[in-house]
Structure 1
Amino acid sequence: MVQAANARDETAAEAEQLFQAGQELYREGSVASLRAAIEKFEAVIPLYQAANNRFGEALARTAAGRAHDSLGFNSEALSHYEPALEIWQFLAQQASGEDLSTIQTWQATTLNNIGGVYSALGEKQQALAYYEQALPLLEAVGDRGGEATTLNNIGWVYDALGEMQQALAYFEQALPILEAVGDRSGEAVTLNNAARVKRALRILCKPN
């Protein structure tokens, strides 16, 4: 039993080292470092699976998906994001208190990431469905910055779909939140988006 415990400890330590190495490579941001980060994250997944560490597996899959996403590898990103989301959803059903808030935050992050991939693929309705699932989770955990980002994401999708009134409504919902959290750059971008949509609406409403 002692040997088994030692082996588990060694596996856990190896998994943590691989994951942290992947994080450092991801932060470097170059193509080469992102590819190397993917190798680390994908190597750590079976270690977490062997240890039945569902939280660790979901983290590693989310990180691997994000690295693939950064390289524009959409299908590969989804191949990690989607099983990660299933794990986050499973863990959320078992958790409570602070643990639940942490898991819901990661769940919302993964939903937003999947929405971003579908948006990049031109599948706007799919993107919208994922963004709309993320929004109440972020509201529940009180992540105001994440909430504003998601409102903006939804606004962008409606903008791309040509539904300008809906786009404007979401941009305008995001603005006071961005102001409240002190995100000046986000506020400026959103003001610009709202102004652009308003101009488009005025042009559309002009009589011929």
Structure 2
Amino acid sequence: MDNTTTANRVPAGVITGGQFAPTPHNEPALTLIPAPVDGPDFDYEFEADHGPGLAKELQALPRIPAKAAISAGRVADLIRDSYAVYWTGEDSAPRTRAEAVQDLEEALGYLPRDKREHHMQLIRFAVHEEMKHWADSGHVLNPEHKYELLIEEADYTGEDDLLDNGQEENRERWELLANTAAHYAVAAGNAISVQHSSAAVA
């Protein structure tokens, strides 16, 4: 994509890609974010081993106002923009995964490395789960792991309702978790920045 082309973002609520599968299916073919040299990728084994803990930590984050979530979404978008399934009318995403990770790392540059990598992992993992809904329109019917369902299946009248409404609602919850994680990552970085500024003045 050249610099003069503007890709069309998939409108909220429009499910694209994937195929409804009434039986268990394989992991959608997503291009995963390169891991730090000392960390794993989000492959199936990593999801099975660490996904429940990451999902629990994300859900334990205090809720933030809608305005804060929208603002923080710009940070999480650094990773979203590297997923081709997030875009329509394009064969590829506007940023490579490596570029996206570097952009996110720079956005959280005030954080010490260990804290920065942990915050990045939370954001990346939540976005990774969010993108599964764009890649597979029947994801909520056959999630690879139980923790991926943030909604209650009992709240829906059947498979049609789950597909028509539950799919989008579950995706939106992962989107909010990614934005919430980004909000607290930025807040932590800002706090350290203020400390550095105060120390410099003193």
What is the TM-score normalised by the length of structure 1?
Answer: 0.26
More helix by share: 1
